[in-house]
């Protein structure tokens, strides 16, 4: 019978663990608790918390709330969200990850710093991603977001640049962007960069590569919206082309199981352990 193994190093990072713990603690007290956006990029975990009473709202719905409690997830929020909460008498349960909070403060400090230099604050990240919106919000919308190296070519190299990264982006691509800017920036201006990539993701790469290469078949469990999920899944695929991204046991194609002698299950920082265990049990029952 094929061996099925769950990767010990996969599962929630401390930022997500804290956000979920805070939600559970608040829900246990009773009363209504809203969450601004999905608490984690994993629909099954969102459903589990919904069954416990957590109500997910989007920003438009949030602006219409009054006199209630709202949890802010690990990704963080722009200052505008806190202003709305104050205006509408909303108690904020702030589960912004400390790593994101530090990055927000750093960007805000740079933005508000008195200086004669004309600077471009650049964030390497995904346009529209909740964390990036929170970061751009620290600069009243002035920061420039670049998603990949090609977009760095559009920067104005005659003006100073301060470069930051969304916490879950690829370290490799960040370093390429740094090298490109260094090569093209005018000697008359300054370039400073801050590697603000969270090691909860980057440090998992060597481990996940080792895990993926030690199995015939890999099921990578992650919500399709998770950016760290995409990075870690790509790493699995690089070392093991027989790697498949799934969100639930229903997505497993039984034909893949035939002939595999060792099957590995791993996931993102937003993947609950219980879900990987559920998938492991489903696989065992089918082989
Ligand atoms: S990946 Fe890092 S920054 Fe993002 S929530 Fe987890 S610990 Fe925080």
Which residue lies with its CA nearest to atom 5 of ligand 1?
15
CA-201 nearest atom, ligand 1: 1
The reported pLDDT for the residue numbered 256 is 92
Query: In this structure, how many other beta carbons lie within 10 angstroms of the beta carbon of residue 280?
Result: 19
Using alpha carbons, select from 22, 24, 43 the residue that is nearest to residue 270: 43
Query: In this structure, how many other beta carbons lie within 10 angstroms of the beta carbon of residue 109?
Result: 10
Say what angle helices 204-213 and 227-239 make with each other, to 10 degrees. Answer: 40
CA-131 nearest atom, ligand 1: 4
Residues with catalytic function? 131
CA-75 nearest atom, ligand 1: 5
Q: How far does the centroid of ligand 1 lie from the alpha carbon of residue 84, in Å?
A: 25
pLDDT in 10s for each residue of the chain, 287 residues: 789 999 999 999 999 999 999 999 999 999 899 999 999 989 999 999 999 999 999 999 999 999 999 999 999 999 999 999 999 999 999 999 999 999 999 999 999 998 778 899 999 999 999 999 999 999 999 999 999 999 999 999 999 999 999 998 888 899 999 999 999 999 999 999 999 999 988 889 999 999 999 999 999 999 888 888 998 999 999 999 999 999 999 999 999 998 899 999 999 999 999 999 999 999 999 88
Q: How far apart are CA 117 and CA 93, in angstroms?
A: 38
The reported pLDDT for the residue numbered 170 is 85
The reported pLDDT for the residue numbered 131 is 96
Is residue 269 within 6 Å of ligand 1 at its C-beta?
Answer: yes
Task: Report in angstroms the alpha-carbon separations of 44 from 11, 39, 75, 222, 224.
Answer: 14, 11, 19, 10, 12
Q: How far does the centroid of ligand 1 lie from the alpha carbon of residue 283, in Å?
A: 30
Is residue 16 within 6 Å of ligand 1 at its C-beta?
Answer: yes
Q: How far does the centroid of ligand 1 lie from the alpha carbon of residue 83, in Å?
A: 24
Is residue 231 within 6 Å of ligand 1 at its C-beta?
Answer: no
Q: How far does the centroid of ligand 1 lie from the alpha carbon of residue 107, in Å?
A: 17
Torsion region of 275: left, alpha or beta (phi above 0 gives left; psi -120 to 50 gives alpha): alpha
The reported pLDDT for the residue numbered 3 is 94
Using alpha carbons, select from 272, 250, 257, 251 the residue that is nearest to residue 218: 257
The reported pLDDT for the residue numbered 204 is 93
Is residue 134 within 6 Å of ligand 1 at its C-beta?
Answer: no
Using alpha carbons, select from 81, 107, 112, 84 the residue that is nearest to residue 95: 81
């Amino acid at each position: 019978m094929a061996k099925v193994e769950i990767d010990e190093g996969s599962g929630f990072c401390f930022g997500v663990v804290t956000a979920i713990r805070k939600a559970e603690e608040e829900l246990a007290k009773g009363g209504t608790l809203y969450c601004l956006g999905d608490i984690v990029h994993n629909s099954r975990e969102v459903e589990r918390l919904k069954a416990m009473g957590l109500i997910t709202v989007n920003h438009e719905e949030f602006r219409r709330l009054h006199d209630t409690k709202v949890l802010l997830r690990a990704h963080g929020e722009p200052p505008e969200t806190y202003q709305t909460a104050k205006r509408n008498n909303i108690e904020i349960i702030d589960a912004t990850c400390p790593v994101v909070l530090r990055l927000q403060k750093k960007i805000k400090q740079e933005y508000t710093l008195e200086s004669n230099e004309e600077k471009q604050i650049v964030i390497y990240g995904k346009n529209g991603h909740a964390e990036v919106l929170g970061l751009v919000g620290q600069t009243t919308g002035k920061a420039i977001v670049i998603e990949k190296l090609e977009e760095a070519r559009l920067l104005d190299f005659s003006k100073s640049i301060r470069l930051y990264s969304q916490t879950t982006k690829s370290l490799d691509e960040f370093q390429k962007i740094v090298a490109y800017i260094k090569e093209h920036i005018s000697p008359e201006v300054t370039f400073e960069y801050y590697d603000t990539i969270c090691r909860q993701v980057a440090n998992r790469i060597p481990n996940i590569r080792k895990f993926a290469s030690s199995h015939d078949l890999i099921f990578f469990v992650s919500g399709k919206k998770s950016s760290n999920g995409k990075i870690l899944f790509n790493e699995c695929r690089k070392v093991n082309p027989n790697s498949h991204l799934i969100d639930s046991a229903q997505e497993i194609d039984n034909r893949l199981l035939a002939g595999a002698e060792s099957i590995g299950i791993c996931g993102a920082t937003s993947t609950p352990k219980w879900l990987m265990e559920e998938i492991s049990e489903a696989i065992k029952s089918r082989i």
